[in-house]
Amino acid sequence: MADQDYAVIWSKRAISDLREIADYISEDSLQAAERMIDQIDAVVQRLHTFPLSGRVVPELRR
């Protein structure tokens, strides 16, 4: 089990993409859009504790 929480840094593009996804889904169902955002948020929250379970995007690789 991890002893440390790590920062998750959202790129401007990722935030924009997430908003566009939510807007698109909400055209049919606001509840479905909210569920999708909640699911994405739950996955991102796990990255705080388990950072290696995700992917480092190339533009942020150092």
2 pLDDT band, cuts 50/70/90, is low
Average pLDDT over residues 41-57: 84
> Which tokens go with 27?
């055209």
> What mean pLDDT value characterizes the chain?
87
Show me where the domains of the chain are located.
Answer: 12-54
Q: Confirm whether pTM is higher than 0.75.
A: no
pLDDT value at 39 more than 60: yes
**Per-residue confidence (pLDDT) for residue 4, from 0 to 100:** 77
Length of the chain: 62
- Yes or no: say if 37 and 18 are a contact pair by the CB < 8 Å rule: yes
